[in-house]
Structure 1
Amino acid sequence: MEDLSKYKAVILCGGQGTRIRGVADNLPKPLIDIGGKPILWHIMKIYSSYNINKFVLCLGHKGEAIIDYFENFHARNNDFTMRIADKAGKQFSLDEKADRSVDNWEITFALTGEATMTGGRLKRIQKYIDQDAFFCTYGDGVSDVNIKDLYRYHKEKNRTATLTGVHLPTTFGVVEADSDGIITSFREKPVLPGLINGGYFVFKAEIFDYIDDDSTVLEEMPFKRLARKSQISMFPHEGFWHCMDTYKDYMALNSMWNGKAAPWKIW
C-alpha cells in the first residue's frame, strides 16, 4: 500500500453555521466543538490516523479565529509554564500529560475569501498542491470512512475525482400501514435509500482544470462536467457519517462523544 504521508488533506472551512444559532454566533462553523474540541480538529484527527499530517485549510468566514485556535492550541488545551521575559515570545513548557495531538501537523492557512464558493476556494489553493493527488473534505462532517480503502478505490478507478457516497438518515420516523389503513409498524428515522455526497474526496491535480473562478460551486458544473466525461467515481461507504448542520446535529454528535460512542474516533 502506498504511503499516504506525502499527500495533503484540503479542508473547506468557509461555512458560517447559520443554522446553528446560539452555538455558532461568534464562530466559523468548523470551530463548533464536539467534546471540547472543534469539529475541524476531529476531521484532521481522522486523516492523521492514516499518517496524513499535512493540511491546507481553506479559510473564509471568521477564518482568523481558526488561525488563532491552532496558534494558541497548547495554551488553550494544557497547563503550561511561560517564561515571560524570554525574547523569543511563546516559549513555554507543558506538563507531562499535555495534549500533543497537533504536534506533527503541518498546516497551511489559505485565505480564500469571505464569499468564495467551494470550487473557487479549491482553485485558490492549487499552488499548495505538490503531488499528483490530494485528499479533500468539508469542515463540518465526521465519518469512520477508511481513508486507505478510499485511496485504493480511487487508484483502481483511475478517475479525476472520487467522492464518498453515504446514506442519509431521515429526520422523521416512518409509519407503515396495511391496505385497510391499520398501522402495522413504526420505524424511527430509517436510513433513506440511495447515497449522497459525503465529502471525503480524492482528487487528481487536474481537478483544477474544471474550476473557473471564485463563483464556481464545486458540486455543480465541475462535478457535472466530470460525470459527462466519466471522470468521477463514488466510493460507497456503509458505515457512519454525520454532518454538523443544525443544532440537533450539534447535540447528537456531542452526545455520542460524551457517551464514548463516537464511531469516527478511530485514534
Structure 2
Amino acid sequence: MKVVILAGGLGTRISEESHLKPKPMIEIGEKPILWHIMKYYSQFGFHDFVICLGYKQYVVKEFFADYFLHTSDVTFDLANNQMEVHNNYAEPWKVTLVDTGLLTMTGGRVKRIQPFIGDQPFMLTYGDGVCNVDLKKLLDFHKSHGKIATITTVNLSQLKGVLEIGDNNTITSFREKEEGDGSLINGGFMVLQPEIFHYLKDDSTVFEQEPMKRLAEEGQLKSFYHDGFWQCMDTQREMKKLEELWQSGKAPWKIWDK
C-alpha cells in the first residue's frame, strides 16, 4: 500500500524556518521531520511513498538524490572522480516526488497524484506531524468497516478540523476548529479508498473542507481514535518540543533501532 504525504505547503506559521526550506524538511535531530514520518511508516511495512511537493520542492528532491551524503560517511577520490560510501544503510523505500503546484490546495494535491495511485487504497498524512498510532490496527479498522475514508482522531487544543462522531465511529460532521474547542480533531494518518478521487475537483479543492463534509454527510467517514502521542509542528515552540523529546531519547515515535 502506498503512503501519500502532503509536503507542498508554504508553512507560513513557522516562517522563521520555512523561508529557507519547506516545512517537512525542517530538522528534528538533524533529520527532516519528513524522514521521521517515513521511518515510522516503514516500521509497519509501508515502504512505497508518494510525496506531494510544491513550495521549494527542489530541497526535497535534492535530499533524496543525495541521500547517502546526508546519512553516511563518504570518501571522495578526487583524482579518479570516485566516491565511496561507508557503512551505508539503504532504506527499503521507493520514493516518488511529484510537483503538485506551488499554490495548490490539499485536495488538489491529492487529486494530482491519482495517476501514481490508480485503483488501490492508500494512506495519506501531513508532512509536519508525528505520532505513535498503531498503523496496523488503523488499517485493520479501515478494512473492517468498508467505508471510503478513515482518519485518525486526537483530542488536542489545536486549530484543526473538528469532528462530531456518532455510532460505530462514524463521523457525522466536519468543521474548522475554534479556539478553546474541546472536540476531537483530524490528526492525519488516514486510510482512503480510491473513490476519494471522485470528491476532489481541481487545484482549488481543500481536502479538509467540502470533501470531508460530503463524506461525513454520506456516512463514508470513519474515526480511528488515538489517545497516545501526537504532535504537529506548526510553530517554533512545537519544533523545540519535538527536538527536546528527540534529544531526551524518549521520542514516542522513534520505534526503530537505526
Under a length normalisation based on structure 2, what TM-score does the superposition of the two structures give? Answer: 0.86
Counterpart for residue 44 of structure 2: 50
**Residue equivalent to 1:40:** 34
Whether 1:76 and 2:66 are equivalent positions in the alignment is: no
Question: Contact (CA 8 Å) 1:15, 1:30: kept in 2 or not?
Answer: no
How many residue pairs match? The answer is: 236
Letter in 2 for 1:227: A
SS in 2 for 1:9: strand
State the distance in 1 between where 2:158 and 2:186 align: 15
Q: Please list, as runs of the form range in 1=range in 2, the aligned pairs for 1:194-213 lying within 5 A after superposition.
A: 194-213=183-202
Runs ≥4 residues deviating over 6 A: none
Shift of 1:109: 0.6
Q: State the shift of 1:93 in Å.
A: 2.5
Question: In the TM superposition, what is the alpha-carbon distance from 1:76 to its structure 2 partner?
Answer: 2.2
1:225 matched residue in structure 2: 214
The alpha-carbon deviation at position 169 of structure 1 amounts to 4.6
In structure 2, list runs of 5 or more residues that go unmatched: 160-179
1:183 alignment partner in structure 2? none
User: Could you list the runs of 5+ residues in structure 1 that have no partner in the other structure?
Assistant: 1-6, 172-190
Give the CA deviation at 1:14: 1.2
Task: Name 1:145's counterpart in structure 2.
Answer: 133
2:83 corresponds to 1:92: yes
C-alpha deviation, 1:83, in angstroms: 4.8
Q: Which residue of 2 aligns with 1:262?
A: 251
Q: Could you tell me how far 1:95 is from its partner in structure 2?
A: 1.7
Residue 113 in structure 1 maps to residue 101 in structure 2: yes
Residue pair 2:153, 2:224 contacting (<8 A) in 1 also: yes
CA shift for structure 1 position 261: 1.4
What is the letter of the counterpart of residue 153 of structure 1? Answer: F
1:126 aligns with 2:129: no
Determine if contact 1:168/1:196 at 8 Å carries over to the other structure. yes
Aligned partner letter, 1:58: C
**Cα displacement (A) at 1:245:** 0.3
Q: Deviations over 1:51-97 (max 9, x none)?
A: 1110000001001110001111211232112455778xxx633223x
Q: Secondary structure at the match of 2:237?
A: helix
Match of 1:215 in 2: 204
- Asked if the contact 2:157/2:182 (under 8 Å) is kept, the reply is no
Secondary structure (helix, strand or coil) at the match of 1:214 reads coil
Measured in 2, the distance between the counterparts of 1:166 and 1:262 equals: 18
Cα RMSD over matched residues? 1.9
Confirm whether residue 26 of structure 1 aligns to residue 20 of structure 2. Answer: yes
Give the SS at the match of 1:61. coil
**Higher helix residue share:** 2
CA distance in 2, matches of 1:206, 1:170: 29
Deviation at 1:112, TM superposition (A): 0.2
Q: State the alpha-carbon separation in 2 of the partners of residues 192 and 254 from structure 1.
A: 27
The TM-score with structure 1 as length reference comes to: 0.84
Determine helix, strand or coil for the equivalent of 1:242: strand
Name the SS of the counterpart of 1:155 in structure 2: helix
CA drift at 1:158: 1.0
Shift of 1:167: 1.7
What is the Cα deviation at residue 21 of structure 1?
3.3
